[in-house]
Amino acid sequence: GNSVTQMEGPVTLSEEAFLTINCTYTATGYPSLFWYVQYPGEGLQLLLKATKADDKGSNKGFEATYRKETTSFHLEKGSVQVSDSAVYFCALSDPLNTGFQKLVFGTGTRLLVSP
């Protein structure tokens, strides 16, 4: 089945540093790829998505490009803020027998940003 591998955390950065969180996937077919974020004590929020190869998803200064040749969807941000401290989950769509999709998640990467 489809699977996602994320880099281990925590990732510890100073404010205004550059962020990369690596995500690679294994999939048959052409899944969509997602980044979700979970702030402390809260639920999952969709951060960005890409639905086909070479698509770039972006939101709130975060970006990720769907790279089919390297099966990757790395999350980047040019300058992190303390408020970006959260757990970030990479996910892909995995077909169900219904024609719909479930999400398969990576293990999550905790980001800690200090002032």
Residues that bind other proteins (CB under 8 A): 29-32, 34, 36, 42-46, 49, 51, 89, 93, 95-108
Whichever of 24 and 101 has its CB closer to other proteins, that residue is 101
Please give the backbone phi and psi of residue 81, each rounded to the nearest 5 degrees, phi first.
-120, 160
Q: Where is 107: in which H helix or E strand?
A: none
Shortest separation between residue 23's beta carbon and other proteins, angstroms: 14
Shortest separation between residue 20's beta carbon and other proteins, angstroms: 22
CA–CA gap between residue 2 and residue 107 (Å, rounded):
14
Whichever of 99 and 115 has its CB closer to other proteins, that residue is 99
